Amino acid sequence: MNNIENLRSKQGYLCDMDGVLYHGERLLPGVTEFVHWLEKEEKQYLFLTNASGRTPLELQQKLARMGLEVGEDKFYTSALATAQFLHHQSPGCSAYIIGDPGLFNALYDYGIIQNDHNPDYVVVGETRAFGYEHITRAIYHVRNGAKLIGTNSDMTAPSETGIIPACRALIAPIELASERQAYFIGKPNALMMRTGLRILGVKTSEAAMIGDRMDTDIVAGMETGLDTVLVLSGVTDELRMQSYPYRPTYVLDGVGDIAG
């Protein structure tokens, strides 16, 4: 086990949210102390989420309802990463968009409009308003030349009622029927991690990635060259961790361990 003082000496922290900061509408133990420690020590930090449905303002308000006040600029979502990617790849492009308001807002802010006639892209994010008509329209557009983009590659996501399908599960029938593979933007894609580091203004050697999932958070940090922190407050326990061919730099019960 690495010395936790080395972790505490980092200048920047990229931190997952669900399973790290909260479960549902409940703040996890030690989170308030961790954020207060970040502020007191003047650390740079950014909360990353593969969930595309909410805007940074909505995420800020979610934490505020749980008693934690954090600036809106401390949140970065896969929807924002997707919008920035498309803007850089094809400025002024259009898309057939399947998702919730957070995705629509992010794309609109970069001038990417909804187009159900001849879109350049089909963009899929998480949404509970997902039906057969969305699938058939997306397949039609992809087979006619639109490029297929997923906000993230998570197969499932936690909810108040248990596990629900996430972006990769929703996009699978479109891939199968169109015979095209989607390109996924969120973690573990290094694009999202590198953008996070640029926002923080820190070098790779000065930052750490904190998360509860080995297949997104930890592999994303590892492949970006960051020290990684697996917290056992989310979906991964020590037994499940052992099944992966790679290891996090640190294993902690929760983020409160960092604050001491």
18 is catalytic: yes
Instruction: Count the alpha carbons within 13 Å of 50 in the hemisphere toward its beta carbon.
Output: 27
The answer for 173, left when phi > 0, alpha when psi is -120 to 50, beta otherwise, is alpha
Catalytic residue among 18, 100, 217, 257: 18
CA–CA dist 43, 132 (Å, integer)? 46
List of residues 6+ apart from 259 with CB closer than 8 A: 30, 33, 34, 36, 37
Distance, CA of 24 to CA of 157 (rounded, Å)? 11
* Euclidean distance between CA atoms 181 and 58, whole angstroms: 31
Amino acid identity of residue 144, one-letter, is N
Give the active site residues: 16, 18
